[in-house]
Structure 1
Amino acid sequence: MAGNRPLWRWIGAAAAGVLAGLALPPWGCPPLLWLALVPLWALGPAPALLWGGAAVLISHRWLLWLHPLDWVGVPLPLSLPLCLVLWLLLGVVAAVLVGAWRLLVQRLGPERLSTAVLAAAVWGLAEVLLAKGPLFWIGVGSAVLPGDRALAGLAQLCGAGGLAALQLLLAWWLWRWLTAWVSQRPTAWRSAGAWLLVVLVLHGCGWCLLPVAGAAGDPVALLVLQPAIPTREKFSWTQQQALLRRLASAQAQAERLGVDALVLPEGALALGETLPRESQVEVLSGGFRLSGSALRSSVLRFAPGALQPVQAIDKHRLVPLGEWIPGAAWLSWSGLSAVGGVTFGEPSRVLQRPDGPIGVAICYEIADGAALAAAARDGAGWLLASANLDPYPAQLQGQFAALAQLRAIETGRWLVSAANTGPSLLVDPAGAVRERLPLQGAGTLAVALEARSALTGYSRTGEWPLLLLAALGMTRRIQSRVRQS
Structure 2
Amino acid sequence: MTDDIDQPAGFELTNLGPGPSGLMAKIPEPVRAFFARPVVRGIIAGLLIAASMPPWGWWPLAFAGIAVFDLLLAGASVKQRLGRGFVTGLALFVPTISWISQLTFPGYLIASLAYALMVGVAAMAVPPHWGRRPALIGAWVLCESLRSAWPFGGVPLSLLAVGQVAGPYAPIARVGGVLLIAVATLALGLFFSAALSGEPRRVMVIPLLASALLSLLAMVAPKGTDTGRTVDVAYVQGGGPQGTRAINTDERKVFERHLEASQDVPPGLDLVLWPEDVVDTDRTVQEAEEGRELEELAAQLDATLIVGTVEGVSNEEFRNSSQVVTAEGEWIDQFIKVQRVPFGEFVPFRTLIEKVAPDTLASRDATVSHQSGLLTTPEAKLATVISWEVFFGHRARSGVAAGGEILYNPTNGATYTGTLVQTQQVASTRLRAIETGRWAVQVSPTGFSAFVSPTGEVFQRSSQVHPRVEVRRGMPLRDGETWYVRWGDTPARVLAVLLLAAGWVLDRRWRNRPLDLGPVKGGWGRLRLPGA
Q: TM-score, normalised by structure 2?
A: 0.75
The equivalent residue for 1:323 is 345
The equivalent residue for 1:408 is 433
Tell me, which stretches of 5 or more residues in structure 1 are unaligned?
A: 67-81
The equivalent residue for 2:15 is none
- Residues 323 and 475 from structure 1, CA distance in 2 versus in 1: closer, same or farther, beyond 3 angstroms? closer
- Aligned residue type for 2:476: E
3-state SS of paired residue (2:291):
coil
The equivalent residue for 2:88 is 51
The equivalent residue for 1:287 is 309
Cα offsets for 1:353-400 (capped at 9, x unmatched): 343432111111111012211221221111101111123212222111
- Residues 366 and 32 from structure 1, CA distance in 2 versus in 1: closer, same or farther, beyond 3 angstroms? same
Tell me, which stretches of 5 or more residues in structure 2 are unaligned?
A: 1-33, 73-80, 513-531
Alpha-carbon distance, 1:482 to partner: 8.3
3-state SS of paired residue (2:397):
helix
Among 291, 299, 303, the residue aligned to 1:274 = 291
- Aligned residue type for 2:346: W
Mean Cα displacement is larger for which, 415-424 or 322-331? Answer: 322-331
Do residues 464 (structure 1) and 485 (structure 2) align?
no
Alpha-carbon distance, 1:47 to partner: 1.4
- Please show how residues 79-478 of structure 1 align to structure 2 within 5 Å: 83=105, 85-106=106-127, 109=129, 111-112=131-132, 114-130=134-150, 133-145=153-165, 147-148=166-167, 150-179=168-197, 181=198, 187-188=200-201, 206=218, 216-230=227-241, 232=244, 240-241=252-253, 243-244=255-256, 246-247=258-259, 250=262, 252-254=263-265, 256-271=266-281, 272=285, 273-276=290-293, 278=296, 279-280=298-299, 281-290=303-312, 294-306=317-329, 309-326=331-348, 328=350, 336=360, 340-346=364-370, 348-390=372-414, 391-448=416-473, 449-473=475-499, 476=502
- Aligned residue type for 2:173: A
**What is the CA–CA distance in structure 1 between the aligned matches of 2:246 and 2:132, rounded to whole Å?**
56
The equivalent residue for 1:71 is none
Contact 1:151/1:207 (<8 A) preserved: no
Structure index of larger Rg: 2
Cα offsets for 1:184-227 (capped at 9, x unmatched): x5x35x65567667656655664676959x95542011111100
Alpha-carbon distance, 1:247 to partner: 1.2
Contact 1:158/1:462 (<8 A) preserved: yes
- Residues 7 and 289 from structure 1, CA distance in 2 versus in 1: closer, same or farther, beyond 3 angstroms? same
Alpha-carbon distance, 1:237 to partner: 9.3
Alpha-carbon distance, 1:124 to partner: 4.7
Contact 1:229/1:243 (<8 A) preserved: no
- Aligned residue type for 2:404: A
**What is the CA–CA distance in structure 1 between the aligned matches of 2:237 and 2:204, rounded to whole Å?**
49
**What is the CA–CA distance in structure 1 between the aligned matches of 2:58 and 2:221, rounded to whole Å?**
20
Contact 2:276/2:412 (<8 A) preserved: yes
- Aligned residue type for 1:396: V
Q: TM-score, normalised by structure 1?
A: 0.82
Alpha-carbon distance, 1:98 to partner: 0.3
- Aligned residue type for 2:92: A
Contact 1:127/1:161 (<8 A) preserved: no
Cα offsets for 1:246-300 (capped at 9, x unmatched): 41551x554x421112111111101143252513321111111255874111112
Alpha-carbon distance, 1:165 to partner: 2.3
The equivalent residue for 2:26 is none
**What is the CA–CA distance in structure 2 between the aligned matches of 1:367 and 1:465, rounded to whole Å?**
19
Mean Cα displacement is larger for which, 311-320 or 288-297? Answer: 288-297
The equivalent residue for 1:26 is 55
